Amino acid sequence: MAAAEAIRGADDGAEIVVVSADPHGYYSRPGLAYYLTREIPEDRLFPFTPDDVRRLDLAWVTESAMAIDPAGHRVTLESGRQLVYDRLLLATGSQAIGARVPGAELDGVVKLDGMDDARDIIRRSARAKAAVVVGGGITALEIVEGLRARGLHVHYFMRKDRYWSNVLSESESRIVERELRREGVEMHTFTDLAAIRGRGGRVTAVETGDGAVIPCDLVAVAVGVRPRIELAQSAGLPCARGVLVDEYLRAGDPDIYAAGDIAETVDAHTGHRTLEVLWNPALLKGRVAGLNMAAEPVHVYEQDASINVTRLAGLHTTIIGTVGSGTDADLEGLSRGDSQMWSELSDETTVEAQRGDAHVRLALGEHTIAGAVVIGDQTLSYPLQELIDARVRATNVVATPEAPLVELINGLWTDWKAGRAQVCRA
Ligand SMILES: Cc1cc2nc3c(=O)[nH]c(=O)nc-3n(C[C@H](O)[C@H](O)[C@H](O)COP(=O)(O)OP(=O)(O)OC[C@H]3O[C@@H](n4cnc5c(N)ncnc54)[C@H](O)[C@@H]3O)c2cc1C
């Protein structure tokens, strides 16, 4: 939709056709978490009114695209109908990776990819009493909290000793875990899902790796997502984990672009290829691709430090830039609301401070702040986002890590706003 808006803004007369397999159209996927907890009603998930959509003057086709013929400039739909294009955008998003254990096919095993899944969880939780949630990252906690808000007893399984270990520090994991316990979630560390048991095709319990049996009616799996690249792959477009795009978001063909979760972009600072499963970068990529599709490919996608403003166990949390490293045993690759950039820290220098309700951590590069995590009071989030994006020289933070962190950040930000701070180019 961001691409469609950009195209319409640049060209009144363009014919725009949106092909989407999702019968619910365009809605906020991050908002599904708040829908599960009953904080927002379903109708608030739709960013566009029907009038907004009409103004874009689109043809909307609710169907799956099955094949692309780049040479013939054609897309074949599930019904067999073919569409001819001048320019094509692929924005097929990502899908949840399922559990690979016996019983994974039982009725009562759920995931959270889209509206139908959210409705399914809501419908099932009206009857269910106990649930097991398996996985890491943001989605697992969103499901945990949604189920708690709907009165279920929730068991949360973690394979190792702590939550989201490749992005959060140990103290941040503990803050989140403490809140989860306070909310009544039963935490199981060093616990693996070995099998799901059922009767009459329905979930009745799970079996853990060390042989314990936990009765439950629902099992939610959030072990990561995989970009849906099959269409691009079968059309012969260059793919790795995502669809490989250039700086204009072209996918190896002058008339085919990719955006959103599937686009594996090049980071201008590091030269690394990056995948992100984030809403705002998806919109930005859509906009850049749309502008390039409408005219000549002159608009470059510039990747800022990945940022997510989210909630973990009810705590407002902002994650910016590179903050962690390694892999999380609870995730296969990325989860929703996650960026590969976050866990690329090679230098382990971090400074952490707790003041009142705010927990702040900085990951320090050689001369700049490489990343930050802010939990609780969010006053410092915006200054940090600006300092990190602008690559402001932060040697005073590096040199005196024991000095009060909050004052250092505020001082640096004031200098930056007043034009007194230096910027470090890559
Ligand atoms: C539960 C949840 C929580 C999230 N939380 C956050 C968060 O806190 N912060 C954040 O930044 N991001 C979050 N995200 C991620 C964010 O929503 C995505 O990064 C973003 O939606 C990606 O946009 P996209 O256009 O690439 O794909 P999507 O929004 O997934 O849209 C892809 C669309 O393509 C359709 N499609 C796929 N294949 C085909 C085909 N062959 N034919 C036709 N249609 C097809 C799909 O049905 C889908 O409608 C969350 C996502 C979910 C699901």
98 CA to centre of ligand 1 in angstroms: 17
pLDDT of residue 342: 75
Do the Cβ atoms of 330 and 160 come closer than 8 Å?
yes
pLDDT of residue 206: 98
Spatial distance between the Cα atoms of 337 and 333, rounded to a whole number of angstroms: 12
CATH of domain 96-225: 3.50.50.60
Global pTM? 0.94
Closest protein CA for atom 53 of ligand 1? 113
Render 165-213 in DSSP notation, one character per residue: TTTS-HHHHHHHHHHHHHTT-EEETT--EEEEEEETTEEEEEEETTS-E
Architecture of the domain made up of 2-92+227-294: 3-Layer(bba) Sandwich (3.50)
- What is the band of 399 on the pLDDT scale with cuts at 50, 70, 90? low
Pairwise pLDDT comparison (252 vs 366), residue with the higher score: 252
Q: Which of 20, 90, 274 to mutate to test ligand 1, by most ligand atoms within 8 A of the CB atom? A: 20
| HSE-up (13 A, CA, CB side) for residue 171 | 12
Strands (E) across 347-411 are located at: 350-355, 358-364, 369-376
14 CA to centre of ligand 1 in angstroms: 25
- Listed residue (315, 282, 334) closest to 28, CA to CA: 282
Residue pLDDT, tens place only, 2-25: 999 999 999 999 999 999 999 999
Over residues 398-421, the mean pLDDT reads 81
pLDDT of residue 125: 97
- What is the band of 426 on the pLDDT scale with cuts at 50, 70, 90? low
Q: Where in the chain is the domain with CATH 3.30.390.30?
A: 307-417
- Listed residue (13, 28, 314) closest to 182, CA to CA: 314
CATH superfamily of 307-417: FAD/NAD-linked reductase, C-terminal dimerisation domain (3.30.390.30)
Q: Where in the chain is the domain with CATH 3.50.50.60?
A: 2-92+227-294, 96-225
How many CB atoms are located within 10 Å of the residue 347 CB?
A: 12
Residue pLDDT, tens place only, 264-309: 998 766 778 889 999 999 999 999 999 999 999 999 998 878 889 9
- 258 alpha-carbon distance from chain centroid: 17
224 CA to centre of ligand 1 in angstroms: 13
- Please state, in angstroms and as integers, the Cα–Cα distance from residue 46 to each residue in 5, 32, 34, 35, 329, following that order: 16, 11, 13, 12, 34
pLDDT of residue 355: 79
297 CA to centre of ligand 1 in angstroms: 25
What number does the ligand 1 atom closest to the CA of 113 have?
A: 53
In the numeric block, the tokens 């490989």 are attached to 244
